[in-house]
Amino acid sequence: MRSTRKALHRPDDLIAAGLVSRERRAGIEAVAARYALALTDDVAGLIDPADPHDPIARQFVPDPAELNVSPEETADPIGDGAHSPVEGIVHRYPDRVLLKPVHVCAVYCRFCFRREVVGHGRALSREQLDAALDYIRTHREIWEVILTGGDPLVLSARRLGEIVNALGAIEHVKIIRVHTRMPVVDPGRITPALVRSLKARGKATYVVLHANHARELTPPARTACARLVDAGIPMLSQTVLLRGVNDEAAVLGELMRALIESRIKPYYLHHGDLAPGTAHWRTGIEHGQALLRVLRGRFSGLCQPAYVLDIPGGYGKSPIGPNYLTRVEGLNGAARYDVEDFNGRRHAYPPPR
């Protein structure tokens, strides 16, 4: 594992880069003592130190509020552990599994739902990876394997290619999906060799990019994404709804348009998980639903992600977006509905004669 760019790992690195004042050192050190800290040069260059509400800094620069743990928050907020039959595997849904070959990222999002386990320099051993692949081989219901972690693209092209080729040799695995932040946080890492390593003969590979603000889609980031798409790898996106980052309709819509312009289809808008010390990022569900209503009426259908909640305890994702349809009683028991248009007006369906 290596990074193609210098990373900032210590509070003093943030101070030296001019991202935070010396007066904030003690508070940041307290957070960094508990949770992993890393920013790439690419991310640091996006931060405006003069803006106390900078949306990029809010995602990556430690905040003492992270040490305030709410009663409802847990170390494993989406229940990975309850569905992990072997190390590195999470088998929550019947036809797909997560494969987590590494717990390291190039950057550490301050709101990460796996913040209690990522950043400790740990990758699966050869024996553990073999056991994880054996699990996939022996469970023929597994149609899709999702590489996550950590960020799997911190692995070398050679190591990544070994894993992808091993999955490609499993007949019943048809889809390989890769979840990553790398194209936006270290776009130089998306080399032709790394792109080739993601493809297995006879399998479909998808890359899902985690991006939360349009400023993350810099020209180098768009070039990195284009390298993947031009190689025949479709891209989707996932975004976390974050207070002070993207919880305004105009900001969220700008991000979705930037993704579509980059040939990346918005896939998920995640409601914030109940990870320890993340309450100051979470919005109310009703606020998220209101944002989706504005997006539906004002932005292209291509720009519409599914708003989802990962149910605490490991019960999976459920869509929690706004509902536009209400069943009403019709004459003689016939089904009739009241449906809302994008302007908030209600209409009978079927329309009355």
- Provide the mean pLDDT of the chain: 95
Taking alpha carbons only, the member of 278, 351, 292 closest to residue 62 is 278
Least confident stretch, 112-121, 189-198, 310-319: 112-121
State yes or no: pLDDT of 347 exceeds 80. yes
Residue range 15-23: average pLDDT?
Answer: 94
Instruction: Verify whether residue 93 is a known catalytic residue.
Output: yes
Partners of residue 8 on adjacent β-strands: 39
Give the CA count within 13 Å in the CB-facing half-sphere of 337. Answer: 9
Q: What is the pLDDT of residue 198?
A: 98
Q: What is the pLDDT of residue 266?
A: 98
Q: Rounded CA gap, 292 and 249, in Å?
A: 8
State yes or no: pLDDT of 3 exceeds 50. no
Instruction: Verify whether residue 317 is a known catalytic residue.
Output: yes
Q: What is the pLDDT of residue 2?
A: 37
Instruction: Verify whether residue 114 is a known catalytic residue.
Output: yes
From the candidates 199, 243, 317, 336, which is the catalytic residue? 317
Amino acid, res. 128: Q
Q: What is the pLDDT of residue 330?
A: 67
Instruction: Verify whether residue 268 is a known catalytic residue.
Output: no
Q: What is the pLDDT of residue 11?
A: 95
pLDDT tens profile 126-153: 999 999 999 999 999 999 999 999 999 9
pLDDT above 90 coverage of the chain, percent: 91
Residue range 195-207: average pLDDT?
Answer: 97
Instruction: Verify whether residue 108 is a known catalytic residue.
Output: no
From the candidates 24, 41, 93, 265, which is the catalytic residue? 93
Q: What is the pLDDT of residue 331?
A: 63
From the candidates 25, 96, 174, 257, which is the catalytic residue? 96
Could you identify the residue written with the tokens 């260059």?
45
Q: What is the pLDDT of residue 40?
A: 97
Domains of the chain: 67-319 (3.20.20.70), 323-353 (no CATH)
Give the CA count within 13 Å in the CB-facing half-sphere of 217. Answer: 22
Give the CA count within 13 Å in the CB-facing half-sphere of 63. Answer: 21
Say whether 94 sits in a helix, a strand or coil.
Answer: coil
Residue range 292-308: average pLDDT?
Answer: 96
